[in-house]
Chains A and B, each alone.
Chain A
Amino acid sequence: METQNKIRIYFTGVGGQGSLTATSLLARTALHAGLEVVAGEVHGMAQRGGVVQSVLLLGGWRSPKLDLGEADLLLGFEPLETLRGMPYLRPGGTVFSSTDPMTPVGVNLGKETYPSLEEIKAKVARQAGAVHFLPCRDLGIQAGAVQAGNTVLLAAVCASGILPFGVDVFEDALKRFLPPKLQVANLKALELGRKVYEENCK
């Protein structure tokens, strides 16, 4: 995938999933790699179960807020939120998304319908240039912790070459910034993310 030295990334997920932690980790990785970094997040009403969005800008962009159509890359930690976030992606931009649904309360109560994964994938593919849906939760569990699923997603993005740093820099950052007890699972998740990209996405 072509590297974008100046890139605007939109993160979207559900409260409690750790998408803000993932944003912050990738931001620290980028700073560690010597890049210009700005990240933005909105706190407050975003609680368990609500939509949580954040942004990361690399290479000289300054605005910690993305408007519709501004993101080059969308990282979706939940497939419904990936689909909902699509207007933030510039037409033809790149999507990396988890395939693991977290059903909203209206769906749980049978009042609303959660679209099928196939439907979501098809709709996302129509609006994006490149799309990669990954079974992050399963791979995270395989690595030893369900939360490591986020690392699978980030590692796959780094392995794709779209970011101005590679998966080796991310690996170095994990070793540097994560507490020792989290490292084993996350480094394993990193390998799985790299592998799943190389085997399925290239």
Chain B
Amino acid sequence: MSANPLLEGKQGERHLLLSNEAIVRGALEAGVHVVTCYPGTPSSEVPDTFYKIGGAGKRYYMQYSVNEKVAMEVACGAALSGAMALVTMKHVGLNVAADPLFTTAYTGLPGGLVVLSADDPGFHSSQNEQDNRNYARAASLPCFEPATAQEAKDMTKEAFRVARELEQPVLLRTTTRVSHMRGAVVFGELPEAEQPKVPFERNPMRFVPVPAVSRLRHIALEKQMAKAQALSEASPYNKVTVPASKPADGVIVSGASRNYLADALMAEGWEDKVRVLELGMTWPLPDEKIASFLKDCKRVLVLEENDPLLETYVRALAQKRGLSCEISGKGGVLTIQNEYSTTLLRQALAAWFGGSCEVAVNEPEPNLPGRPPNLCAGCSHRAVFYAARQVFGDGAYYSSDIGCYTLGMLPPLRCADFLFCMGSSVSGGSGFAIGSGKTVVGFIGDSTFFHSGMTGLANAVFNKVDIVVVILDNGTTAMTGHQPNPGMRQDMLGDLCAHLDIESIVRGFGVEQIKKVKAFNLKSVVKAFEEFKDMKGVRVLISEEPCALYARRRLKMGMERYAVVSSQGDDAKRCFETFACPAFCRRDGEYAVDDTLCTGCGMCLQIAPKAFKLVKRG
């Protein structure tokens, strides 16, 4: 295999990169020593690329941590010890990791820490669209927001420079459209030798944040952020463009909106109608640069997706400086919901200029057959949900969690009644059981169990909660792309990681009612649920079966057999309606199984033995 350009590419080379890959190159150019993460869309390709390109152990150390807080703490520890560290996660992950981050901003981290938060405006694969620029403000983190693949690389490198110079953690905030865009990236120089680490000097009066220390460190933090603001004033990423016509209208813009603005102005030929202040280093904001921009404008429109953070800041600054510039932002088509787009900004600008713009759109064709997300054919989660519904029906409340198995909410399985966040199936389910006195069955995957299900389980045992917890162990982190987790088989983990046994952990927590089953053995799963049904206390079912995609792609398990419908009629109908495997289909009005999708799991045979049989492939 030829060497990866990210590891070997020379200065000046130009490559087409995903922004998430460009971030990897930027970190390598900076000389990153330690990379930690918890995977989550749209951040996952950053750690996955570090993992894949094979530089680990040579140029850098990397780990998949068990959750974001742990990833953050490992990275903070590394940066404290003097290494340059990168920690990556999706936006909601930063909620989990916020605790160490807020306090390390006080102590400072001499080696330099960059925190990647990949936000998801528009809910492409997330439960909320929180705006993590708020964290930059709340925790006092210098913040960079790239808008192109080139900037993703360059700002990553710059973020490391600032993190080391100020000894402060720096936030690199992307959004889905930036993370998953591809563009040309011109490489900078890759350091020949390992970058120096900053020798750690013991100083408990700085690094042990007891109140007496923290009081002083809060003052130090304020001083560092003043220096960061000076960097922001001088930063080439905060730049003003003034057309020759010197218009009195100005636009202040950051993040992905910079792309939409550029395209909207180009599409309408409006480049000479506005001055533009583009902000790439978005915390601290450059007060002088913004005030000077406001002075040159009669009116300013602020463009930013999600929360009106820039807008509010600019309004406050104008008030403080006594500037009369008219400031607009959210309102009309510009809402805090969803993403912006070129068309949306054309409309917003047209309205702001006092006119309107035509948007011609082809009418959508109504009532087309949909392609909703679904659990795959051969997915072991479907088998366990089927069994749970057979035993508990509507008599239990189903506490779901974050993973593919959230799709258990869909009919006919209907095995998700509520969900908060990673790990909440156990603790949220506990609260539901305590509050309602009802039967609660929680479902959690292996990676999510290690992430934050374990603490909820310890709490449930400690507080003697009545709850059934099902650990759906499919041997990998399936939804985000089969990243390693401690439950993965040792032979798949390799030498650098150790396998942890889920059953031993559960037993070690003091759970007495534990059953371990094979997910595709319907009889044993039903029997386990039936026994649990009449019991009290914490009951844990561990169901094992590798993710069907993982089994095929990585474990190279074949699909030797597939199911066929051997007898039309009520049995086949019942199985179709209650199990609803995506391999089921109708051919000329008859029940059939699509052999290209069927994995031969054998569930249909167990549900309706008279209607299905397995045959050998080929």
Q: Give B20's nearest chain A residue, CB to CB.
A: A43
Chain B residues contacting A104 (CB-CB under 8 Å) are 369-371
> In the bound complex, what is the Cα–Cα distance between A92 and B239 (angstroms)?
38
Residues of chain B with a CB closer than 8 A to A62's CB: 147-148, 258-259, 262-263
Contact B182 A40 (CB under 8 A): yes
Contact between B369 and A31, CB atoms less than 8 A apart:
no
Surface stretch bound by A, among B56-64, B230-238, B584-592: B584-592
Enumerate chain A residues within 8 angstroms of B256, measured Cβ to Cβ. 63, 65
Chain B nearest CB from A82 CB (Å) reads: 10
Q: How far is the CA of A69 from the CA of B361 in the complex (A)?
A: 5
Chain A residues with CB under 8 A of B373: 45, 47, 50
B374–A65 touching, CB < 8 Å: no
Residues on A with beta carbons closer than 8 Å to the beta carbon of B124? 42, 44-45
Cα distance, A70 to B342, chains bound together (Å): 9
Segment with Cβ contacts to B, from A110-118, A153-161, A164-172, A190-198: A110-118
Give A4-59 interface residues, CB cut-off 8 Å to B.
Answer: 14, 24, 27-28, 31, 36-45, 47-51
**Chain B 254-265: CB-based contact to A (< 8 A → 1; otherwise 0):** 001011101100
Q: A43-B42, A91-B361 are in contact. Are A38 and B182 (CB under 8 A)?
A: yes
Binary interface encoding of chain B residues 556-597 relative to chain A, with 1 for a CB under 8 A from any of its CBs, else 0: 000000000000000000001000101011100100001000
B132 contacts the other chain (CB 8 A): no
Q: Give the A-B contact count at a CB cut-off of 8 A.
A: 156
Scan residues 81-95 of chain B and give those whose CB is less than 8 A from a CB of chain A: none
Q: Do A69 and B343 contact each other (CB < 8 Å), given the known contacts A83-B368, A91-B362? A: yes
Task: Scan residues 106-165 of chain B and give those whose CB is less than 8 A from a CB of chain A.
Answer: 124-125, 147-148
Interface residue tally on B, bucketed by range: 35 or more
Evaluate contact between A83 and B365: CB separation under 8 angstroms.
yes
Main secondary structure of the interface of B (DSSP, over half): loop
Cα A201 to Cα B468 with chains together (Å): 62
CB contacts (< 8 Å) of B580 on chain A: these are 109
State which of B41, B341, B371 has its C-beta within 8 Å of the C-beta of A49: B371
A176 at the interface (CB under 8 A from B): no
- Docked complex: A123-145 residues within 8 A CB-CB of B: 123, 127
| Chain B residues in 8 Å Cβ range of A123 | 365
Indicate which residue in B44, B359, B369, B589 contacts A114 across the interface (CB closer than 8 Å). B369
Contact A90 B576 (CB under 8 A): no
Interface with A: B173-181, B201-209, B499-507, which one?
B173-181
- Complex CA distance for A66 and B361, rounded to whole angstroms: 12
Q: Is the CB of A109 within 8 A of B362?
A: no
Query: Is residue B309 contacting chain A, with contact meaning CB distance below 8 A?
Result: no
CA distance A119 to B361 in the complex (A): 20
B180 contacts A108, CB within 8 Å? no
B354 interface residue, CB < 8 Å from A? no
Residues of B within 8 A of A115 (CB): 368
B363 (CB) vs chain A CBs: closest residue: A87
B609 at interface, CB cutoff 8 A: no
| Contacts A31-B184, A38-B182, A62-B259; A67 near B371 (Cβ below 8 A) | no
The reply to whether B582 and A69 form a contact with Cβ atoms under 8 Å apart is no
Query: A113 — which chain B residues lie within 8 A by C-beta?
Result: 369
Closest to A113 in B: B369
Interface residues of A (CB under 8 A from B): 14, 24, 27-28, 31, 36-45, 47-51, 60-70, 80, 83-84, 86-87, 89-91, 103-110, 112-115, 123, 127
Residue pairs across A and B with Cβ atoms less than 8 A apart, 11 shown, are A14-B371, A39-B182, A43-B42, A43-B45, A45-B373, A47-B373, A84-B364, A87-B363, A105-B374, A112-B370, A127-B362
Minimum-distance CB pairs A-B, first 7? A44-B125, A108-B585, A64-B181, A67-B341, A44-B41, A112-B369, A110-B586
B interface residues with partner A (beta carbon < 8 Å): 14, 16, 41-42, 44-45, 124-125, 147-148, 176-178, 180-184, 256, 258-260, 262-263, 266, 339, 341-344, 359-365, 368-374, 376, 549, 576, 580, 582, 584-586, 589, 594
